[in-house]
Structure 1
Amino acid sequence: MGTQSDVFEQFQTILREQRIHAVYQPIISLHDGGVMGYEALSRGPEHSPFHSPLEMFQFAEQQGELYKLEQLAREKAIQGSILEHEQQLLFINISSHVLEDPGFVPGKTLEILQKFGLRPNNVVFEITERSSIEDFTLAKKILAHYRMQGYRIAIDDAGAGYSSLQAIAELQPDFIKIDRSLIENIHRNKVKAYILETFVTFAQKMNISLIAEGIEQVEELAKLTQMGVHYAQGYLLGKPALTAAKVQDTLRTIIWQHRNVQGGNMTWHIGGLKTPVGIFHTKVLISEVADYFKRNQEAVGVVIVQDDCPKGLVMRDRLFQHLAGQYAYSLYWNRTIDSVMDASPLIVDEQVAVEQVSLLATSRAINQLYDLVIITSDGKMAGTASIRTILESITNVRMESARVANPLTGLPGNLQINRELNKRIKENETFHVIYADLDYFKWFNDRFGFQKGDQLIQYTADVMQQAIAFYGTPNDFVGHVGGDDFIAISTTLAPKLLCQEMINRFESGVRMFYEDVEWEYVFDRSGNQVRSEGVTLSLSLVICSCETPISLEHISQTAAQLKKQAKAHKGSIYCFQALGSQSPIGISSSERID
C-alpha cells in the first residue's frame, strides 16, 4: 500500500481531483417487484488502495477528512443518479459522526440537487453504523431541518448492534434497513424469523418501512415477502451498477406468489376505487384547461399525459391561484400546461392495496395532502381517486370488519368465515381448512382465571396468524369461530407443514402461561381427571381437492369427525382427511418441543 505519506498523498489527490464515482444498487418492492429506488455506493479509483469504500472512509475518518469525503460522495451520487421517474428514491449514506461535524451545514445538499434536477423528496439520508451517535439532541435538530425540506431518513444495520436500536428509538426514521446478519438463511433459522417478526409488527405500528439487506437466496426472498417486509436489496435482486436495474421475471413471480396478506384482514386494491378524470396532453394551452374547469364545476383536478402515461397533475384551486394575479392571465394564458403542472404527483398501480395508498397519500407535504391520486394499469392512465374516497372506503371496511369480528382477537367471525368458505368452494380450486381447538381450556380457565384464559386465546390467535405468515400464501385467511375454536383457510402447497408449524409455535410458548405452577392431573369438560401436562392444541386438517363437488356442511362434518379423533390422542396433534378425492383419513402426531 506504500508508506503512510504516500497513502496520504494518494488520498488527498482523490479529494482534490474528485476521483470517486457512485454505483447504484436497486431496492425492490416486495409488494409488486418494482424498483423503489437505489442506494448510492461510492467507489475510489480502480487499482488504488482506496477503491474499496470501507478502506477509503475509514482512512478519511482517521485523518479528520470524513466530512470532505462524504460531501464529495453525496455530490457524485446525485450527479450520476439513475432514477427513472419522480417516485423513485435515492438513498445516500451519511455516517452518524458527520452529523456532529460543524461543517455539516444545511443547504449544501439542496444546492447540489437543484444543480442536477432532483428534489429533496427524491432523497433518503441513510445513517450508517460507522460510529454511534453521541449527541441525539443535536442529531434530531439537524435531521428535523432536513425533514422539513422533504428529505427522509433511514437507519442502517438494524439488528447488528444496540446503537442502531437506540437510533431508531430516538430518531424515528422513515426506513429501517435490516442488517444482512439477521437476514442470512432466515428461512432456516426460526430465532432470526421471530426477531424479524418483531420488527415487522413495530414497523406497522410506527408507519415505518423495512428494507432487508443482503438478499442472496431465492428462499430468503420468499420468506421475507411472506413475512410482510416492505422492500429488499441484495445481489440476488441486483448488483451495484452504473445503469438502471430490471428485476428478473422469475423473481417478480416469486414476490407476487408470496406477497403477505394478513389472515383475517380485508385487503382490496386501489383499482376498485378509480373514477374517470379529465385528461390533457402536456402541450395543451393553460387556457384550454382553465376553460374545462369553468365548464365542469365538479372537476377538482385533471391529469396531464403523454402517450397515455401520466406525467403530471393540475388541481383546480392551484391553477386558478396561478391565474389570480394582476398580470397572470397575460403571463400564463398561452403557455402550455406542463409549465404549471405538478410534475411529481402520487401515481400508483391499480393492484396496490388501498391502505398502502392511504399511507403514501397522507405522508405527502401539507399543500399536496388533498391532491388526487393517479391510478395506472400497466403504466397507462386508468383513473384517479380522491383522499376522501380512500379514507371513507377504509373506514367503512374497518367498521364492517369490527362489526362482525370477534371482540377478543379482532379476527373475522362466523359471518366472514362462511363467506370465505363459500367463495373458495365456488372457485373450485384446491384449498385447505384447518380447525383449531384447545384441549382442557376449561380447566385452565378455572385454575388460572378468565384474564389468563383471554390471554391464552389471544396467544392462540397470534400462533395461527404467524404460522400462516410463514407457511401460507397470499389471500390466506384466519378466523375466530368463538371461544377456543379457530379456523384457517389456506392454499399452501404444504398444509401438513403448516399444521406442524402451528403446533410447534403453540407448544413453544404455552408454558409461560402456567406461572411455574405444578399439577399431576387436569380435568376434562365432564370433570374427569386426566393425566396431562396442560393445555394442548388439536387440529383438524380438511384438504379440499375439489375434484368432485363439496359443500360447507361436508367440510364442517368432516372437521368435527377429525376433531373427535384428535382429542382421543394425548398431546397436541393434527388429523387430516381429503375431500373431493379418494384419499383416506390419516393421523399424525406433533413434534414436541422440550
Structure 2
Amino acid sequence: MKTNLVHKSIHFIRFLNTNRKLLYQEFNKNEELLNVIRKSRMQTFFQPILSLNSGDTIGYEILNRPEFTKSFPTTDAFYDYVGESKHVFMVESFIRNLALKRYHEQVKQLDEGEDCFVFLNIHPQVLADPNYQAGTTMNLLAKHNISPKQVVLELTEKKAGINYSQFVKLVEHYREQGFRIAVDDAGSGYNSLQTLLYLNPEFIKIDKSLIRNIEKIPEKQHLVELILDFANKSATKVI
C-alpha cells in the first residue's frame, strides 16, 4: 500500500511538472505574439505577380513575416499558432492594416498607379467574424488611397467545416463593393477544389506542391490540366 502511494505521488509530481512546462511555453508564445503586434515586428515583402504574355507586373502579393523568436523559429510556426489561438481576428486585422499602410508607401515610390492589383491573404473565418465591422476595410482603403477594385482577397480554407451557402453570400457582398476573389493553394486538398466550384474566383493560385516535379509525374499534369480547363471555361486567371 505504501509502495502504491509512492508511485501515485511520483506520477502526480510528473504530471505537475509536465503541465507546468506546457503552461510556461504557452505563456511565452502568447507574450511573444503580443510583442510582435505591439512593436510591429513584421517584415513586409511585395511579391510581384507577372503576366506571362507581356512580362508586365499586374500586381503584388503582400507577405508579412514575423521576426523569428525562440517560440517561433519559422514563419509557419508563428501562423500555425495564431490559427489555433484566440488571437486570429486581432492578428489578421493588424496584418491587414500594416500591409495596406506599407503598400501605400511602396506605391508612392514605384508609382504603380491604380492598375496594379493588391493580393491580401485573409482567412475566411475573419470575413465572417462579427467583430469584422462593416466598412472597416473600405475606410482603411480610402485612408491609403487604394481602390477596392485593386484589392484581391486571397482565401485559403484547407480545413473541413466551412458553410459554403453562407460563405458565398459573404463573398458576393465583398464583390458588390468592388473586391476580387482569389483561391489560394488550389489542388492542395478537397476543400480547395470545393471552394473553386462555389466561389467562382477571379484568380486561382495553384499550390506549389502540385507544381513541384510536375514534369516527372503525369498525375500532377492531368490535375493541373483540369484546373486550367476549368479556369478557361469560367474566365478565371491562373497564377
Same fold (TM > 0.5): yes
Contact 1:156 1:178 in 2 (8 A): yes
Q: Quick one: structure 1 residues 33 and 51, their matched pair in 2 at CA, closer, same or farther if it must change by over 3 Å? A: farther
Q: Which amino acid counterpart does residue 118 of structure 1 have in structure 2? A: I
Show CA shifts across 1:104-128 (max 9, x none).
2332111111111211011100002
- Match for 1:4 among 18, 21, 26? 26
Following superposition, the deviation at residue 179 of structure 1 comes to 0.7
> Which aligned pairs between 1:550-569 and structure 2 lie closer than 5 A?
none
Alignment partner of 1:80: what SS? helix
Residue of structure 1 equivalent to 2:212 = 184
Say if 2:170 is the partner of 1:142. yes
Residue of structure 2 equivalent to 1:80 = 102
Q: Equivalents in 2 of 1:85, 1:31: separation in Å? A: 21
Q: Equivalents in 2 of 1:27, 1:3: separation in Å? A: 39
- Match for 1:22 among 44, 50, 54? 44
Q: Which amino acid counterpart does residue 9 of structure 1 have in structure 2? A: E
Alignment partner of 1:57: what SS? helix
> Which aligned pairs between 1:293-372 and structure 2 lie closer than 5 A?
none
Following superposition, the deviation at residue 129 of structure 1 comes to 3.2
Following superposition, the deviation at residue 38 of structure 1 comes to 1.1
Q: Equivalents in 2 of 1:53, 1:171: separation in Å? A: 28
Following superposition, the deviation at residue 133 of structure 1 comes to 5.4
Q: Equivalents in 1 of 2:133, 2:166: separation in Å? A: 13
Show CA shifts across 1:443-469 (max 9, x none).
xxxxxxxxxxxxxxxxxxxxxxxxxxx
Q: Which amino acid counterpart does residue 78 of structure 2 have in structure 1? A: M
Q: Equivalents in 2 of 1:113, 1:48: separation in Å? A: 35
Contact 1:44 1:51 in 2 (8 A): no
Contact 2:68 2:75 in 1 (8 A): no
Contact 1:153 1:175 in 2 (8 A): yes
Alignment partner of 1:153: what SS? strand
Contact 1:96 1:133 in 2 (8 A): no
Q: Which amino acid counterpart does residue 185 of structure 1 have in structure 2? A: N
Identity %: 35
Q: Which region of structure 1 is more displaced relative to structure 2, 15-24 or 201-210?
A: 15-24
Alignment partner of 1:3: what SS? helix
Following superposition, the deviation at residue 210 of structure 1 comes to 0.7
Q: Equivalents in 2 of 1:112, 1:205: separation in Å? A: 35
- Match for 2:192 among 164, 169, 184? 164
Q: Equivalents in 2 of 1:88, 1:52: separation in Å? A: 30
Q: Equivalents in 1 of 2:160, 2:37: separation in Å? A: 25
User: How does the TM-score come out when normalised to structure 2?
Assistant: 0.80
> Which aligned pairs between 1:60-459 and structure 2 lie closer than 5 A?
60-81=82-103, 82-83=106-107, 84-129=112-157, 131-132=159-160, 134-211=162-239
Following superposition, the deviation at residue 169 of structure 1 comes to 0.9
User: How does the TM-score come out when normalised to structure 1?
Assistant: 0.34
Q: Equivalents in 2 of 1:106, 1:72: separation in Å? A: 17
Q: State the structure with more CA Rg.
A: 1
Following superposition, the deviation at residue 46 of structure 1 comes to 4.4
Q: Quick one: structure 1 residues 56 and 160, their matched pair in 2 at CA, closer, same or farther if it must change by over 3 Å? A: same
Residue of structure 2 equivalent to 1:31 = 53
> What CA RMSD, in Å, does the superposition of the two structures yield over aligned residues?
2.1
Show CA shifts across 1:242-262 (max 9, x none).
xxxxxxxxxxxxxxxxxxxxx
Contact 1:156 1:177 in 2 (8 A): yes
Structure 2: which 5+ residue stretches go unaligned?
1-23
Alignment partner of 2:41: what SS? coil
Contact 2:185 2:206 in 1 (8 A): yes
Q: Equivalents in 2 of 1:159, 1:142: separation in Å? A: 23
Q: Equivalents in 1 of 2:72, 2:46: separation in Å? A: 18
Contact 2:47 2:60 in 1 (8 A): yes
Alignment partner of 2:114: what SS? coil
Q: Equivalents in 1 of 2:136, 2:118: separation in Å? A: 17
Q: Which amino acid counterpart does residue 96 of structure 1 have in structure 2? A: P
Contact 2:152 2:180 in 1 (8 A): yes
Structure 1: which 5+ residue stretches go unaligned?
212-594
Q: Which amino acid counterpart does residue 231 of structure 2 have in structure 1? A: A
Show CA shifts across 1:488-545 (max 9, x none).
xxxxxxxxxxxxxxxxxxxxxxxxxxxxxxxxxxxxxxxxxxxxxxxxxxxxxxxxxx
Following superposition, the deviation at residue 156 of structure 1 comes to 0.8
Residue of structure 1 equivalent to 2:21 = none
Following superposition, the deviation at residue 94 of structure 1 comes to 0.7
Counting matched residue pairs gives 211
Q: Equivalents in 2 of 1:48, 1:141: separation in Å? A: 41
Q: Equivalents in 1 of 2:237, 2:160: separation in Å? A: 22
Q: Which amino acid counterpart does residue 70 of structure 1 have in structure 2? A: E
Following superposition, the deviation at residue 64 of structure 1 comes to 1.0
Q: Quick one: structure 1 residues 103 and 52, their matched pair in 2 at CA, closer, same or farther if it must change by over 3 Å? A: farther
Q: Quick one: structure 1 residues 62 and 196, their matched pair in 2 at CA, closer, same or farther if it must change by over 3 Å? A: closer
Q: Quick one: structure 1 residues 19 and 6, their matched pair in 2 at CA, closer, same or farther if it must change by over 3 Å? A: same
Contact 2:32 2:69 in 1 (8 A): no
Q: Quick one: structure 1 residues 195 and 3, their matched pair in 2 at CA, closer, same or farther if it must change by over 3 Å? A: closer
Q: Quick one: structure 1 residues 80 and 51, their matched pair in 2 at CA, closer, same or farther if it must change by over 3 Å? A: farther
Residue of structure 2 equivalent to 1:41 = 63
Following superposition, the deviation at residue 189 of structure 1 comes to 2.9
Residue of structure 1 equivalent to 2:6 = none
Following superposition, the deviation at residue 188 of structure 1 comes to 3.3
Q: Equivalents in 1 of 2:71, 2:149: separation in Å? A: 35
Residue of structure 2 equivalent to 1:405 = none
Say if 2:101 is the partner of 1:53. no
Residue of structure 2 equivalent to 1:427 = none
Higher relative contact order (CA 8 A, sep 6+): 2
